[in-house]
Amino acid sequence: MTAATAPRFVRADGPDKVTGSGRYTADLTLTGMLAAKFRYAEIAHARIIRLDVSAARAMPGVFAVLTADDVPDVRFGPFVQDRTLFARDVVRYEGEVVAAVAAVNATVAQQAVDAIVVEYEPLPPITDLEAALAGDSLLVHEGWAAYGAGDPVVRDRNDASFSSITKGDVDAGFAEADHVVSSRYVADGCHAAPIEPRAVLAQWEGNKVTIWTSTQVPFDARAGVCETLEMPASRVRIIVPHLGGGFGGKCGFHYEAHIAALAKAAKRPVRLVFSRREEFFAPDRRREGMIIDVQTGVRSDGTITARKAWIAIDNGAYTTDAGFFSQLAAMHVSGPYKIPNVHIDSHLVYTNLQPSGSVRAPTAPQACWALESHTDEVAKAVGMDPVAFRKLNAVDTGDIGPSGQTYGEIGVQRCIDEATALVDYGQPLPDDEAIGVAIGWWPSFSVPSGAYLKIDGDGSAQIITGAQECGTGAVMTLRQLAADELGMNAEDFELVYQDTSVAPYDMGATGSQTLFNNGRAVVAAAGQVAEQLRSLAAEFLEAAPADIVLADGHAHVAGSPTSTVSIAELAGIAAGGELLIGHGSGAPPAAPALVGSSCVGDLGMAAFVAPQFSCHAVRVRLDRDTGVVRVMEVGTAHDSGTIINEMGALGQVEGGVMMGIGQALTEGAQYDAEGHQRNTGLLEYKLQTCADSPVIRTTFVQIVTPNAGPRGAKGLAEAPNVATAAAISNAIAKLVGQPVRQLPMTAERVWKAMQS
């Protein structure tokens, strides 16, 4: 399937967004609304000696100034409870919130922020991953033995989450090898960089608070408010207006409680709107920098005998949802390969940098880039074509993966064939061009989710869902699933969504899970309404309910197309009796079993539910005078199970490829020695633009996957982001003669690699 042949897909939220009539959080205003501003640490590591907000509080127009003393003393965090809403005693990264102000307008609020007196005793900033892991390093969290944490968390000095995979006998495996290839790769941190900087607006009525916020995870945001402000869920309502992109950066709980607390103290609605600089440096959500040492043993015939790796991941100052990153990175450095002997140690390292968190396929693009660049080095060592080498060693249906999972029918081998064919791999190329190939994988996340569905008396229908749309189109596609269950058109359904007080729980736009899990819930809810319609139609048409077919907006008796009644008419009948209402959740698919490996620090990521596979093949052109690389053409093949909405799916792949090109070539957070990020604007932090986009062709390898999402679908939101940088790296390595071992592979780094 290519873009040219994909069916038409009209997004329900499209016209609002395109015409400007849609409202984003920053567009909302309430009577008496105040503006919020934060006082940030602006220093990476320091002890607070003095914090005096009295001058700020005394300023005209200032309604509230809050510090740690003004909110409940609660530590929070999904894996390690190492955070507080406001800094207490020690600041651990430059973007940590020390105090918050609500004032009549943003100018006065900023003046009040500037009037807050903070004196620090500077502490040495810990910014180097290897130094942080050394036994003599200063600790980022001196007292973290006393913090709450989940059971699998292994606490060891600055190691926030250690995870290992051990399978077979790695020493024996290396002894069998004819060649051993060792590589080191270093990935800089980078950002989700959504176009909408985040905004939060809170208003209290009595003891209840409504918070409009630009989050990808409204229920998670609600849980954070409840935990930190010590309130029950019934008194907190989270509403998300249109969301201006997220890419993972708006996953997690961030500033909703700060603004709710300000609004309560000020007795007025309060709105926070981030600047671009704040969006870059403040949130505890950045794509993690990594160091990857990987060693592979291989026989002369190309079979891999053993792999050993050591991984250090920059956690930043606080463990947000990054607790599982060490295990996820270990899986990605293992890769979707048949390797009998594996030992991987993976560390999530506390530093005094901005906290890391789930940005689209966390750890995967960096780990895949390192592993797949290394894989080309291994193939070169045995004189094999890198594609043939992958075909030989990649897992296939029935194989056992590196963590002991046995795969059902999977399409990784077909993905390799399809993606390479799309770019005519092997074609003669000019001497400044090359094609690089990489494979990747990603789990589907199996979690609870819920939805309601109703049809009103006039025949118009609503899906009321907890799911969150972050631009991927996944929520939009729910209409298609409901329509197919009910024999209606997708356009017949209005979506009511992004409001925690009207819909059942959903995990949010995270983990590629919306269609996978909420799709199941919507199908179940629609199924209940379909049963009601069949029963009504059976009575109306004098037939058995089992013989009623719902199609084209009508119910008819199977085999008798003329014996028919419209669904709208049935809805009118129902409006006078038992209403048409369905609800659904469905049981999340169970995780597959693991055999023959052991994992320390297991957070459930060693077994990939409904694993997605991909191959990206990229043709690049290198300007040999300057090191500037341009991506000319990308062929991708994705096994994401059944594709339900092909146009939406192609959009996901194209967006993932563009994000991957950015991470490969131009996007990297740059820090000075003191732990300050230096490129906190879109001029210096270079996203790819429309003008940079190459030709992207995609083939979906559609395998109806059991134990997956609706109709055998897997996730797709993150998978396209996994293998792009890796494929680009392999193309560059062919042109330069060696890999560029630091990500992003900027023109300057490519040029330097050419000089050496």
Partner 1 sequence: MTFTIATTLEDALAAMAAGARPVAGGSDLVVAARHGKAALPASIVAIDRLGDLARVTGTDDGVRIGALATHATLMLHPLIVDSYPGLADACALVGSPATRNVGTLGGNVMNSSPAMDTGAPLLALGARVELRTVDSTRVVPLAELWTGPGRNVAATDELCTAILVPAPTAAGGTRSSSAYVRLEYRRAMEIAVVGAGASITLAADGTVESLAIALTAVAPTIISVTGLDAFVGKPLDAAALTAVGEIASEQSSPISDLRAGDSYRRHCVGVMARRAAEAAARRAAGEIIGIPVNRAFGIGAAR
> Which residues contribute to the site for partner 1 (CB under 8 A)?
432, 621-623, 625-626, 628-630, 665-666, 670, 678-679, 681-684, 686, 688-692, 746-748, 751-752
Which residue, 554 or 741, is less far from partner 1 as judged by CB?
741
Q: Are 255 and 542 in contact (CB under 8 A)?
A: no
Query: Smallest distance, Å, CB 742 to partner 1?
Result: 14
- Closest to partner 1 by CB, 209 vs 665, is 665
Residue 341, C-beta contacts closer than 8 angstroms, at least 6 positions apart = 167, 168, 169, 170, 172, 173, 174, 305, 306, 307
CB of 623 to partner 1, least distance (A): 4
* 3-state class (DSSP) for residue 211: strand
Q: Which is nearer to partner 1, 409 or 748 (CB)?
A: 748
C-alpha 119 chain-centroid distance:
37
Q: Whole-number minimum distance, CB 672 to partner 1, in Å?
A: 10
* CA 539 to mean position of chain CA atoms: 48
Per the CB < 8 A criterion, the answer to whether 723 and 440 are in contact is yes
CA 534 and chain centroid, separation: 40
Supply the minimum distance, in Å, between the C-beta of residue 683 and partner 1. Answer: 6
The nearer residue to partner 1, 233 or 628, going by C-beta atoms, is: 628
For residue 744, cis peptide bond before it (omega within 30 degrees of 0):
yes
Q: How far is the CB of 678 from partner 1 (least distance, A)?
A: 6
Count of C-beta atoms within a 10 Å radius of residue 325 = 32
Summarize the chain as % helix, strand, coil (round to 5). 30, 30, 40
Shortest distance, position 724 Cβ to partner 1, whole Å: 16
CB 382 to partner 1: min, Å = 31
Cβ within 8 Å of residue 730, ≥6 positions away? 372, 373, 376, 386, 436, 437, 438, 739
Distance separating alpha carbons of residues 226 and 714, to the nearest angstrom: 32
Question: In whole angstroms, how far apart are CA 557 and each of 221, 455, 572?
Answer: 48, 21, 19
Of 471 and 744, CB closest to partner 1: 744
Listed residue (159, 139, 135, 137) closest to 92, CA to CA: 139
Pick between residue 347 and residue 619 the one whose CB is nearest to partner 1.
619
Strands 493-497 and 461-465: parallel
Nearest to 366 by CA among 306, 294, 283: 294
Measured at the CA of 285, the angle between CA 280 and CA 286, to 5 degrees, comes to 65
Q: Which is nearer to partner 1, 364 or 732 (CB)?
A: 732
C-beta of 460 vs 670, nearer to partner 1: 670
Rounded CA-CA distance 597/588 in Å is 25
Three-state secondary structure of 94-112 = CCCEEEEEEECCHHHHHHH
Q: Which residue, 4 or 683, is less far from partner 1 as judged by CB?
A: 683
Complex with partner 1: residue 598 or 626, whichever CB lies closer: 626
Q: What are phi and psi of 652, to 5 degrees?
A: -60, -45
CB of 598 to partner 1, least distance (A): 45
Residue 542 vs 625, nearer CB to partner 1: 625
CB of 238 to partner 1, least distance (A): 30
3-state secondary structure at position 474: helix
Q: CB 280 → partner 1: shortest distance, Å? A: 13
CB of 27 to partner 1, least distance (A): 18
